[in-house]
């Protein structure tokens, strides 16, 4: 009887570890976001750095497993969109030498069980063709186009998700990250198609 109890507890512990560390899902997700963004364009046409598809500095701000999953998902989506030259930066700088995409992830309000998961959180995303990161701060932004056209974008995404089925935490974060990456890169692709008459 005691041996059976220890075997059962060991099996439960292994199953629990599998849920926490393995990436698997047999689940359906309902993920949606409400977002608004503003774009500022100064000068005629696109900045040369955007026309030439110069390197984009990618900066992720926040903590937790969603950040790592989002870094990978953004790299994949940006590559699909033809923006292959991406450099993942370790932190924010006052100004980068090439265009910058900054993504700030708020702390998710998240509930996970092996059969159901739900979350709500906010993402801020901003892009600057000049590499100026001030648009993500609290201070007033002054845009100078003396070196040619400038394009900035700032957006806020309010995300909510409900998922049902067997889903591990790594897979849940990956699902959220892939959705966010598609949303952010979709906005970024629109910027690269902007033409000012």
pLDDT at 19 over 60: no
Q: What is the pLDDT of residue 27?
A: 64
Mean pLDDT is lowest, of 51-65, 111-125, 175-189, for 51-65
pLDDT at 151 over 50: yes
- Both structure tokens of 14: 């292994």
Structural domain includes residue 118: yes
Q: Is 132 helix (H, G, I), strand (E, B) or coil?
A: strand
Structural domain includes residue 2: no
Range 170-188 average pLDDT: 88
Tell me how far apart the alpha carbons of residues 107 and 121 are, in angstroms, rounded to a whole number.
6
User: Which of 14-18, 62-66, 127-131, 177-181 is the most confident on average?
Assistant: 177-181
Tell me how far apart the alpha carbons of residues 30 and 161 are, in angstroms, rounded to a whole number.
6
Structural domain includes residue 103: yes
Structural domain includes residue 114: yes
For the domain that residue 141 is a member of, what is the CATH number? 3.30.160
Percent pLDDT > 90 in the chain is 5
Q: What is the pLDDT of residue 3?
A: 66
Structural domain includes residue 14: no
Structural domain includes residue 12: no
Q: Is 161 left (phi over 0), alpha (psi -120 to 50) or beta?
A: beta
Among all chains, which residue has been given the structure tokens 């220890």? 6
Q: What is the pLDDT of residue 196?
A: 43
Backbone φ, ψ for residue 84 (5° rounding): -75, -25
Among all chains, which residue has been given the structure tokens 């041996």? 3
Q: Name the more confident of 8 and 168.
A: 168
Bridge partners of residue 27, in order along the sequence: 165
Structural domain includes residue 110: yes
**Count of domains forming the chain:** 1
Structural domain includes residue 13: no
Q: Which domain holds residue 85?
A: 25-192
Give pLDDT tens digits for 65-118.
888 899 889 989 888 887 778 888 887 777 788 888 899 988 878 888 878 889
What average pLDDT is seen over the chain? Answer: 76
pLDDT at 158 over 80: yes
pTM above 0.85, yes or no: no
């Amino acid at each position: 009887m005691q041996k059976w109890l220890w075997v059962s507890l060991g099996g439960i512990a292994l199953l629990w570890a599998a849920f926490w560390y393995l990436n698997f899902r047999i689940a359906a997700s309902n993920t949606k976001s409400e977002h608004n963004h503003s774009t500022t364009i100064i000068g005629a046409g696109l900045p040369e750095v955007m026309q030439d598809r110069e390197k984009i500095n990618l900066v992720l701000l926040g903590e937790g497993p969603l950040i790592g999953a989002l870094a990978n998902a953004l790299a994949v989506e940006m590559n699909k969109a033809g923006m292959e030259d991406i450099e993942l930066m370790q932190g924010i700088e006052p100004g980068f030498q090439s265009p910058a995409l900054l993504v700030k992830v708020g702390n998710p309000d998240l509930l996970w069980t092996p059969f159901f998961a739900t979350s709500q959180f906010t993402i801020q995303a901003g892009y600057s063709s000049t590499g100026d990161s001030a648009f993500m701060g609290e201070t007033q932004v002054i845009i100078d186009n003396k070196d040619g056209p400038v394009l900035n974008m700032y957006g806020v995404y309010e995300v909510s998700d409900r998922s049902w089925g067997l889903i591990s935490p790594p897979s849940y974060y990956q699902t959220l990250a892939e959705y966010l990456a598609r949303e952010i890169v979709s906005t970024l692709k629109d910027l690269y198609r902007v033409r000012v008459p």
